[in-house]
Amino acid sequence: MHMITAKGLNVRHGQKAILHGVDFQARSGEITVVAGPNGSGKSTLVRAISGELAFEGSVTINGVDASAMKAWEMAAVRAVLPQETLVTFPFTAGEVVRLGLTTGIFSNRAVRNQMVEAALERVGLAGFSRRIVHELSGGERQRVQLARVLCQIWEPVGEEGPRWLIMDEPVSSLDVRHQLAVMELARDYAAGGGGVIAVMHDLNLSALYADHIAFMKDGRFVAEGTPAEVVTAEVLEAVFDCALKPGLPPRDGIFVLPQSAASQPTNLSLAAE
């Protein structure tokens, strides 16, 4: 089993310490969720292990020191879906997705076009390649970016070993159906031998799909383990500073859980809005 491993990770923003000696591990073939309150260091963590931020400590990807990897080597083994991507030019969806392709591998234009269409179809946006990104809804734009990321690491396992899909709040702008569909896509990627790391706020989706959950607070990990081990009233109160009782509906209220829909994956194909 291959892993992404961080040891003694320290990150500072000016004079402020964001991460404090963090140790982290994610395994291939699994979905690892990083959860916690706003400002706890989740996005900083994934940006550091992705090579986007300077840090003290060490990060290894599939046993290779990340600091010794060239940019193209890093790009070949991990792709990052940021929390938000600003597109300032009137690119089409197909042009954005094409940015994820490696020219050396997909040197044939026809093959590149096929890959772009396949990626858009995979995220439920078949036929959107000529649509201007600015004219799409927020959820559609998010899925265009996901298609771009998937193009970069299309096969979960390559010659260099497992590839890694790293996502920061991947479902934040999606309706419940597309949230479930994106998480099913992540599950399929992990089942194919790749690794998935996802920063999440939705505790229900995290508990439903994650193999491993790591809860952060104030730049440190508070608890790690399977959902059954760490999604407990004690841990949640320690992390979020409010009383939460897993499995109990709010008094005199209604809440909707995705479990019943997720038990029927054949109905969760991504479709255009």
Q: Is residue 133 part of a domain?
A: no
Which domain covers residue 161, as residue numbers?
A: 3-85+155-267
d(CA 174, CA 182): 9
The confidence score (pLDDT) of residue 140 equals: 92
CB 215 within 8 A of CB 230: yes
Residue 33: strand pairing partners = 198, 213
CB distance 256 to 208 below 8 Å: no
Domain-located, residue 126: no
According to the 3-state scheme, what is the secondary structure of the chain? CCEEEEEEEEEEECCEEEEEEEEEEEECCCEEEEECCCCCCHHHHHHHHCCCCCCEEEEEECCEEHHHCCHHHHHHHEEEECCCCCCCCCCEHHHHHHCCCCCCCCCCHHHHHHHHHHHHHHCCCCCCCCCEHHHCCHHHHHHHHHHHHHHHCCCCEECCEECEEEEECCCCCCCHHHHHHHHHHHHHHHHCCCEEEEEECCHHHHHHHCCEEEEEECCEEEEEECHHHHCCHHHHHHHHCCCCCCCCCCCCCCCCCCHHHHCCHHHCCCCCC
Q: Exposure of 77 by Cβ count < 10 A (0-12 exposed, 13-18 middle, 19+ buried)?
A: buried
In a domain, 172, yes or no: yes
Q: For every one of its 273 residues, what pLDDT tens digit does the chain have, with 9 covering 90 and above?
A: 699 999 999 999 988 999 999 999 999 999 999 999 999 999 999 999 999 999 999 999 999 999 999 999 999 999 999 987 778 788 999 999 999 987 555 567 788 889 999 999 999 999 999 999 999 998 999 999 999 999 999 999 998 899 999 999 999 889 998 999 999 999 999 999 999 999 999 999 999 999 999 999 999 999 999 999 999 999 999 999 998 888 876 777 777 666 666 655 545 566 554
Closest CA to 203 of 227, 168, 234: 227
What pTM did the predictor assign?
0.90
Residue at 67 is within a domain: yes
Sheet of 220-225, strands arranged across: 78-81, 164-168, 195-200, 31-35, 212-217, 220-225
Q: What residues does 32 pair with on adjacent strands?
A: 197, 212
> Which pLDDT does position 266 carry in this prediction?
47
- Classify residue 226: in a domain, yes or no: yes
Instruction: Confirm whether 128 is domain-assigned.
Output: no
Q: Please tell me the predicted confidence (pLDDT) of residue 105.
A: 57
Residue 129 lies in a domain: no
Q: Is residue 148 part of a domain?
A: no
Q: How many domains does the chain contain in total?
A: 1
Residue 271 is predicted with a pLDDT of: 56
Which CATH number do you get for residue 37?
3.40.50.300
Confidence (pLDDT) at 257:
67
